[in-house]
Amino acid sequence: MERAGTLNLTTDQWVQRFAKMPKTQDFEPGTSWHYSNTAYFVLGGVIEKVAGKPLATVFEERFFAPLGMRHTALDDEKAIVPGRAAGYDGEGPGKFKNASMLSMTIPGAAGSMRSSATDLAKWNAALFGGSVLEPASLQAMIAPGRLNNGELSGTAIPKGDGAERGEYGYGLGISKVEGHTRIGHGGGIPGFNSSLQEFPDEHITVAIIANSIGKDVGVAKIARRIERIALGLPAQ
């Protein structure tokens, strides 16, 4: 029997599987908020249908090539890619194991991209510099979402103990670091972890990619330390 992580299916085949799930939504649209990898996967499928091309081709032609992001692509685990790092899962302090194999058709548009920290910084410079979207579209993207009742969607976003409540726009989180606006996103799949954050008022970008993930392993704590240094804030 094929392991779930090795399933290599087309976008249409995955969507057919989603449709057969016992529950396809957690709440009525607009009544709450929850992050959904499946929703981003389906969005990638919509782009493929509209463009009539694979998502990897659309991204390469419309974004990566024009922006000079030479180390960025939708990944294919079967391809031989010079310089591509192996991924590791953290099991404890100083203890790692090879990450389980994962077909890149599984995360799809929700997280199958490979890149470099330099390319991520190029992306943010283009996005916030007006090379990707019209100004009105960018402002809509970074505006906090609202529920049907008029409340900000952030009221429904889970937060850790002592953490400031964040908001969420179109694919980007919006939060504050001691009064400094931070816009960005993090992500992770087995063996890999990333964080890309922009401080638009200070023109500071913090981009980190790690080829490891697990308890106390990854980019979150590193990113927060770098952000505070860049902003001139005392260490915590």
Token pair in block for residue 58: 């659309």
Do 87 and 212 contact (CB within 8 A), yes or no? yes
Residue with the two structure tokens 């310089």: 83
pLDDT at res. 3: 55
pLDDT at res. 103: 92
Other C-beta atoms lying within 10 Å of the C-beta of residue 146: 15
Please give the distance of CA 90 from its chain centroid, rounded to a whole number. Answer: 20
Token pair in block for residue 221: 């704590």
What's the rounded Cα separation, in Å, for the pair 6 and 66? 33
What's the rounded Cα separation, in Å, for the pair 172 and 168? 6
Residue with the two structure tokens 């200070």: 202
Domains, the chain, ordered by start: 4-231 (3.40.710.10)
Residue with the two structure tokens 């510099």: 129
What's the rounded Cα separation, in Å, for the pair 65 and 28? 39
DSSP designation for 109: G
Give, for all 236 residues of the chain, the pLDDT tens digit. Answer: 345 577 788 999 999 999 998 988 899 999 999 999 999 999 999 999 999 999 999 999 999 999 999 999 999 999 999 999 999 999 888 899 999 989 999 999 999 999 999 999 999 999 999 999 999 999 999 999 999 999 998 888 876 544 456 899 999 999 999 999 999 999 999 999 999 999 999 999 999 999 999 877 879 889 999 999 999 999 88
